[in-house]
Amino acid sequence: MRLFRDFLYGGLFLNTALFSQLARAIDLDINSSVKDAASKTAYGSMTWYHGNETGQIPGAFPTKWWEGSALFMSLLLYWYYTGDSTYNAEVRQGMQWQAGDCDYMPANYSSYLGNDDQMFWGLAAMTAAEIEFADSSDGYSWLALAQGVYNTQVDRWDSSTCGGGLRWQIWPYEAGYEMKNSISNGGLFQLAARLARYTSNDTYADWAEKIWDWCTSTPLLNNETWNVADSTDISNGCTTQGDNQWSYNYGTFLMGAAYMYNYTKEAKWKSAVDGLLNKTLDTFFPTTYGGNIMSEILCEPAEVCNDNEILFKGLVTGWLGFVALVVPATYDTILPKLQGSAVAAAASCSGMTNNTCGVRWYPEKWDGWNGMEEEIAVTNVLASSLINTKKTAPVTSSTGGNSTSDPNAGTNDNTGSSTTSSKITTGDKAGASILTIAFVGMWGGMIAWMLIGG
């Protein structure tokens, strides 16, 4: 859940939002000022980053390591759509510093990472390759880094339980090791699909199809209703599901299906794109808010989104932009959603007299929350609303991409490939419940204090 500083600051800022006149929001004309608006939120996200300061570690977020990849992905998209290279040096430095042995398993963090944590860094590297972000002159190529993540993850494919699938966690001592979840498997599916398209290597496409087919054989992905569940449990043979509806689970499968359709032109993948896109837009762009403003529906109305969850819709808007470019038939459907969300998101950036952005976009004013995650999410949607300035899809190795390939990247690192199972104990689950109850209690108490005695 959000750190204690968020309880303190969030309470104070929410109080301000309830009882004070809010500052002016970022001015946004969707036809002329998106770049300027995005520059403000990109700057806002970087005020939370210290890896470029003397004595700090580039790319490092010690308590939430994966969020570095989310920051850098947003800045990559910012550069791609606006042409502003202000943060390119920091992005390149941070993404190289955390690269580990060309597989994003750095020694300082690898002992507690999940497959999804590592996967997001692989997707950031894949994005860099696809948008022709120049390879580092003294580090690994972006394509090689994406291949390194792919190689280490397919090596962890677990056919000994549930007939296949990637576990959520890498290590048996981690709570969640007994689960197989959508974001880990969908993320690897997406990465494999993007590698297939970039390299024209059918081995990646074969793996993408294998991952997809396994997911559709479980409760994770229903290819008739297009429901995407959050997780399934090894202890009951992956027959039941945790059905929380998170946008990034839908988005990662949609993105992978779009790339597979672009690469293969097979009807199977076009049906998947259409089904997942319609379900994603119907679910996460509620008609209650006009139908063109994205909302993380599970946590936003009750104002209980944690740091991870605040980032989800930002990731999805970035993916939607690429879906529109690699499957042009979806462009006219997606563009109004991105532009409507961009206008609302910019209007949420009216906090603290310095354009601080909130979590929820649909109120079209600041909701009292602040943090790096909020700024990243808004940067993503603002940048992605500029897809109308792009005439072609992200590149491949045959259409201008020149990131160096290393098909064997990461193969010297067998992290997590031969681990043994260790069940999650009642204590593990109770510990998670206690943290959740504590969060709800503290948050409820703060709201009561502000409304009654504040």
**CATH number of residue 215's parent domain:** 1.50.10.20
- The alpha helices in 358-417, defined as continuous H runs, are 372-384
Phi and psi at residue 392, to the nearest 5°: -130, 160
Q: Is residue 17 part of a domain?
A: no
Domain membership of residue 440 (yes or no) is no
Count Cβ atoms within 10 A of the Cβ of residue 253 and give its class: 0-12 exposed, 13-18 middle, 19 or more buried: buried
Averaged pLDDT, 55-65: 94
Concatenate the DSSP letters of all residues of 380-419 into one string: HHHHHGGGGG--SPPP-TTTT--PPP-TTTTTT--TTTT-
What is the extent of the structural domain holding 360?
33-412
As a whole number of angstroms, the distance between CA 221 and CA 367 comes to 34
Answer whether residue 424 shows pLDDT above 80. Answer: no
Evaluate whether residue 22 is within a structural domain: no
Enumerate residues 6+ apart whose C-beta is below 8 A from 55.
Answer: none
Q: What is the mean pLDDT of residues 71-93?
A: 98
Number of domains in the chain: 1
- Per-residue pLDDT of 164-207, as tens digits, reads 999 999 999 999 999 999 999 999 999 999 999 999 999 999 99
Residue 165 lies in a domain: yes
Residue 137 lies inside a defined structural domain of this protein: yes
Residue-wise pLDDT tens digits, 295-322: 999 999 999 999 999 999 999 999 999 9
Residue 171 lies in a domain: yes
Q: How confident is the model at residue 101 (pLDDT cuts 50, 70, 90)?
A: very high
Beta strands in 268-392 (DSSP E): none
User: Once rounded to an integer, what is the mean pLDDT over residues 384-392?
Assistant: 94
Structure tokens at 268: 């199977």
Q: What is this structure's pTM?
A: 0.87
Structure tokens at 386: 């500029």
Report residue 27's pLDDT band, with 50, 70 and 90 as the boundaries: confident
**Is 366 inside a domain boundary?**
yes
Is residue 20 domain-resident?
no
